[in-house]
Structure 1
């Protein structure tokens, strides 16, 4: 171990000493050698890092020339700054703290791990310590000896356990203290902080502080930034905070603060950014009308009332205003946003009246205009037709009238136009061809009329179109099939006529088609059967004729409604299932078995000449077909022979020990082994020579998406570069996952043309099959409960047990497979997303998931996180409890199972009524426990949904009682009945699910 050197900075007298020049010629050689040794130990500890920062760190080099090393005038190492360098490893603090003059250690934003040892106490000269944004573990050691510290940054470092708050009392020189985003043990607001009178920056967000903010916070008069967000703070905002006259940023959001803004809040006159959103604050905004320097004001999700001060319209720096979900009344200041480069406004879900301010995009910088769910009146100001910077335009659920300025339809950057539930009229103009970024067009429940312009096909980014409940007429544009990203097409209750375009079969991403209550004629296009992702098809109450295409049999629909048309002929056998009861009513020309009229054999009809000619032509056609088949089979055998010689073209990657070869798999990919078709490919059952069974998914590539012809893995598909995204997503998500409730992926087999995934085979199909189709069986409540717990544990592992969270993004009952013992496995990861190491979430224009399971926030944000999976799982729980599908006609127009269940939460009797009648009365109380969990999971507010880890705990707490019968429980008053529905606050669940748009707008 090297001996620490003691340095003394040269004084003025030293420069006149006769030996000083000799001193400069040989400067502290032994000390420099010791410092190099300690620096090289740091390099060795982090040598696995993907960085070149250490290239200059050589044993014979000058440490003052090492990248990231700072030296003082005397040549001693005073600072190490290696932040943002992708460093990986454990810090050797025993070496670092032997640098005797070290004043700065900056290692933030790296990938460091391990614990911070007690050796930190030896870095007594430190003035700046920044190790934030890393992945350390354990607790923070005592900091008392670091009395010279001015900057301490430990935020988002992975620390847990108790924080040594007492050690802060010695750090009286601190100017900057950042400890947030660590899961410390819960504690009251640390009073030790109140003695740090020099503090200018205090960041304690998301570090488990609870209780009230003390009045003594006003003693920190030098504070310019105070952030206490994402904690469990209660009580009022203290009056002492009004003494912080230098404060320019105050962040208090996501706590449980109550009361009004304290009198004197107006005195914080230089306050620029203020965010107290997601609390329980009440009262009016009168104290804020004096804060003329405000740039960002975010108070959404509180209980604020009264009018928005008209003075806000004179704030010359205001660019962000977010007040949604309060109880505000009155009009919006008409000069709002007209001074600065206004960025966004969100005042949705209030009781505001009057017109939309016209000048918020005066400077051409506005990105988001969100005023939905108020009582606004008047016309949409013409000025917004020229607001080319807009990305979101949402004015739904108001009383707006008049025509929409034509330019709004064609805003070049807008990704959502939401005008629903107003009294707007006029046409959708051809300007929509310019809306190249438009993903969602939501204009239902208005008075729009005219024909839908064919130019809508040029808005190529469209994902969702909802024109329902308007007065549109004319034909559906034939070229609408060019919208290859389209997910939802709802034209219900208009006056559309003409035929359904065949081109819809090219919209490979379509999930929902709703053309109900129009005047559409002609046949149902057979091309609809080629839509691989279609989940809901409603063509009811039209004038459709002809037969039901057999191609619809290949679809896996949660909703099919062809009722009240003029359809004729035999109903395809595969569509005659309980799940589609009532789907064909009002078509007297349909026939079939069971409850349908018997189909006529026509055997007694005379055979006329036309029939004979037809038969003759048909016979010739059959003969030609047979000859073609013979030629095809000969060619097929040649191809198979050729394929058998090309084994080297296949690449197999195994993820488990294999008992088969790729050739054994490839030889079994045949039509007779096909057991399923999904949105991303065909699934085959393979029986190995040893009798074991496997499931093999053949992922369609981009060239075959939308064409349902089953191509074997031996067919040569069109050449492409790289694997399909569905394949990459599934392999990335499953290749290293090991969990009893996640389907096993054995290997992948790829060639230049094909992609195969080999799984374990689960003989009992999916939970959807068992609940809703002809394969359904009587699942007792104990089995349903075990399926719920097992599936929850599988998702919990994906979210929390993997090295990086995996978002499934398509959780539904058809993706929960059952083994021979009805134990569940989470399957089908075609949409899965592995969260990046930096914590970023996926962002996509395509709404992920399946209709009926999709979380409501995906209607207004492109961000995807794990709370979307939680919502979808909540829907699955509702299926298990009720036995019903996510979409049923009985729920009412435009409603799903979540809304239906919420409408039944008013009393114990109505809640018990939604439980599946096949569940015995004695177990319905247990089922309602699970239903309560499902309601929590499907909260409209993502922040209020539990994590999957919490869901598992809640489900385990709701385990059915197997030892005490319900009869005994009813007779014995001493037994605890609180776990049932007796004391349940039904209104709470309804309140929790009544807030649609809850996006946190951050000024950063």
Structure 2
């Protein structure tokens, strides 16, 4: 029969019926009549109601695998009478209660797997009697207390996984387990210093101590761990400098040291780890530069060094790199052109000190935030010259207490407070505490700029437009009224202009009427806003040397100061009445539908 193996005497020796969709109770009364049975494997079925009765009759049983069934209930004591067992798997079975102290009677066990159950209480000290044990898996239970002292006796132990329990205390006794291949202590409450001997165990392949409260350094003896492939210490309190000797652990593939307190420089030779595929050092206190050696690490696909104090330039990228996060550091210089050759899954360079142009292939609408917080970095999709590299003509209309660079530095994504058809509006907070609003308008795209450099008619047309625009700004700049927004200055380059206004913290009247439920306007406040706006319009029409017709008065163009006093804003469509008093008309109707005066629509006057 399939799954049944017999010995030379034709007696059943092994039953292997895993993954057969078996249901119901386990018929041990029949199975244990097989006097030669030494292996019983029924994992990945739907067996239930297992009490272990009559299991003690399977006196020759050496291998018992009942994992991944739905037994429920306490640990079956009858198993503890099977003195010849060397393999026991009761993982994922719904077993509850404590691990019995008599587990120490199974002295020939080499493999004990009790993972993903409801086991609670302490790990019994008697487990230290299992001197032949090579694998102990107790992860995903509710075990508490310290590791039992007897664990130090398991000198043949190779695989220890007690992850996701509530174990506590130090792990100093583990330094005696010199044959360890895999140590997994994830998501417990362990404290203290990781013993120096642990880092350099010569057979160790995996160290995962993520999400504990370990302290102290990674010691230089890690150079002796020639077989280690994964080193994970995320979410602990480890500190000190990363040892240069880590580059001698030549089998390392994954280094995850994020969210600790490591400081100092990243080891310069870390890129010499030719098998390294993932390096995660984010949320530490690392300083210095990013090692150039990482450029030659040809197998690396993930680098995350965000939220450190790294400085200097970004080195050339390695060819397989797919995820790169260097945000929240102090990196400077240009973005390397080598980054353009990747199809990135993740690329974050925000909040550094980078400058110069962003490679065109990296700039998309979705990626704008990936580069924000770099004042000297150009992020425009059309890739005109970076703002700080432009030549700006500044025209002031009030006494200025700020510099050109302070205004340019404010043009960052995190300062964006509004968008419009003609440009974006940013909030600028100056070193003296003054808040300003900066409107950035692109007069033409950079492609047109490049085409027009050798075309005099086009350039002449642009110069004429710029002159007309300048005349209008000069006129608006002469306005002085409490109900008209104050324009401090304009800054003009070849293809864009900046307008620096006073900042009005309560936004627009439209926002207050439709968006801000927590601060609804009472009727008295609405009345004073209406009167203030009317006074502003009266001044524009009759109080200026040349009357100004706004042509787009609406609630979104009425801004409110900290006392909810109104200011008329956004003069992008405004027009000055001719000085000679002649008739002024246009064949183009401008303004916003729903707000345009009916007479203006009919007569265009």
TM-score, with length taken from structure 2: 0.65
| Alpha-carbon contact 2:214-2:237 (below 8 Å) kept | yes
1:266–1:339 Cα change, 3 Å:
closer
Which SS does the other structure have where 2:292 is aligned? coil
Choose the corresponding residue for 2:440, options 519, 533, 557. Answer: 519
Deviates most, 297-306 or 572-581: 572-581
1:128–1:337 Cα change, 3 Å:
farther
Choose the corresponding residue for 1:300, options 224, 234, 240. Answer: 234
C-alpha distance in 2, partners of 1:87/1:596? 78
Q: Does 1:442 align with 2:433?
A: no
C-alpha distance in 2, partners of 1:214/1:572? 64
**Within-5 A mapping of 1:663-674:** none
C-alpha distance in 2, partners of 1:205/1:77? 34
Choose the corresponding residue for 1:157, options 62, 69, 93. Answer: 93
1:492–1:354 Cα change, 3 Å:
closer
Residue 182 of structure 2 corresponds to: 249
Residue 105 of structure 1 corresponds to: 40
Residue 338 of structure 1 corresponds to: 272
Residue 368 of structure 1 corresponds to: 302
**Within-5 A mapping of 1:943-958:** none
Deviations 1:21-72 (A, max 9, x none): xxxxxxxxxxxxxxxxxxxxxxxxxxxxxxxxxxxxxxxxxx3xx2x22222
Choose the corresponding residue for 1:260, options 169, 193, 201. Answer: 193
Q: Does 1:147 align with 2:138?
A: no
C-alpha distance in 1, partners of 2:178/2:196? 14
1:166–1:223 Cα change, 3 Å:
same
Residue 478 of structure 2 corresponds to: none
Residue 214 of structure 2 corresponds to: 281
State the shift of 1:107 in Å.
Answer: 2.4
C-alpha distance in 1, partners of 2:302/2:114? 33
Task: Please provide the CA RMSD for this pair.
Answer: 4.2
| Alpha-carbon contact 1:246-1:268 (below 8 Å) kept | yes
Q: Does 1:91 align with 2:26?
A: yes
C-alpha distance in 2, partners of 1:606/1:241? 86
State the shift of 1:250 in Å.
Answer: 1.4
1:498–1:154 Cα change, 3 Å:
same
Choose the corresponding residue for 2:11, options 62, 72, 76. Answer: 76
C-alpha distance in 2, partners of 1:248/1:150? 19
Residue 396 of structure 1 corresponds to: 327
C-alpha distance in 1, partners of 2:24/2:422? 62
1:270–1:440 Cα change, 3 Å:
farther
| Alpha-carbon contact 1:245-1:267 (below 8 Å) kept | no
| Alpha-carbon contact 1:342-1:360 (below 8 Å) kept | no
C-alpha distance in 1, partners of 2:157/2:96? 27
Which SS does the other structure have where 1:417 is aligned? strand
Residue 319 of structure 2 corresponds to: 387
Q: Does 1:181 align with 2:116?
A: yes
Q: Does 1:350 align with 2:284?
A: yes
C-alpha distance in 1, partners of 2:288/2:599? 74
| Alpha-carbon contact 1:233-1:256 (below 8 Å) kept | yes
- In structure 2, stretches of 5+ residues that fail to align are 391-411, 424-436, 444-484, 488-503, 537-552, 559-563, 567-593
| Alpha-carbon contact 2:125-2:149 (below 8 Å) kept | no
Q: Does 1:499 align with 2:490?
A: no
C-alpha distance in 2, partners of 1:192/1:342? 40
Residue 820 of structure 1 corresponds to: none
C-alpha distance in 2, partners of 1:119/1:391? 57
| Alpha-carbon contact 2:129-2:150 (below 8 Å) kept | no
| Alpha-carbon contact 1:273-1:296 (below 8 Å) kept | yes
State the shift of 1:363 in Å.
Answer: 4.6
State the shift of 1:174 in Å.
Answer: 0.6
C-alpha distance in 2, partners of 1:472/1:417? 25
Normalized per residue, which structure has more strand? 2
Residue 133 of structure 1 corresponds to: 68
State the shift of 1:88 in Å.
Answer: 4.8
- In structure 1, stretches of 5+ residues that fail to align are 1-62, 456-469, 474-489, 502-515, 523-540, 544-560, 615-1004
C-alpha distance in 1, partners of 2:375/2:604? 53
Which SS does the other structure have where 2:60 is aligned? coil
Residue 714 of structure 1 corresponds to: none
1:83–1:288 Cα change, 3 Å:
farther
C-alpha distance in 1, partners of 2:147/2:414? 53
C-alpha distance in 2, partners of 1:439/1:611? 46
| Alpha-carbon contact 1:472-1:494 (below 8 Å) kept | no
Work out the number of aligned pairs and report it: 451
C-alpha distance in 1, partners of 2:92/2:339? 42
Which SS does the other structure have where 2:282 is aligned? coil
**Within-5 A mapping of 1:924-963:** none
Deviations 1:694-730 (A, max 9, x none): xxxxxxxxxxxxxxxxxxxxxxxxxxxxxxxxxxxxx
| Alpha-carbon contact 1:492-1:517 (below 8 Å) kept | no
Report 1 or 2 for greater relative contact order, CA contacts < 8 Å, sequence distance ≥ 6.
2
State the structure with more CA Rg.
Answer: 2
Which SS does the other structure have where 1:136 is aligned? coil
Residue 422 of structure 1 corresponds to: 352
C-alpha distance in 1, partners of 2:232/2:486? 48
State the shift of 1:308 in Å.
Answer: 0.7
1:542–1:127 Cα change, 3 Å:
farther
1:176–1:574 Cα change, 3 Å:
same
| Alpha-carbon contact 1:155-1:179 (below 8 Å) kept | yes
C-alpha distance in 1, partners of 2:414/2:369? 14
| Alpha-carbon contact 1:121-1:146 (below 8 Å) kept | yes
C-alpha distance in 2, partners of 1:246/1:284? 22
Which SS does the other structure have where 1:345 is aligned? strand
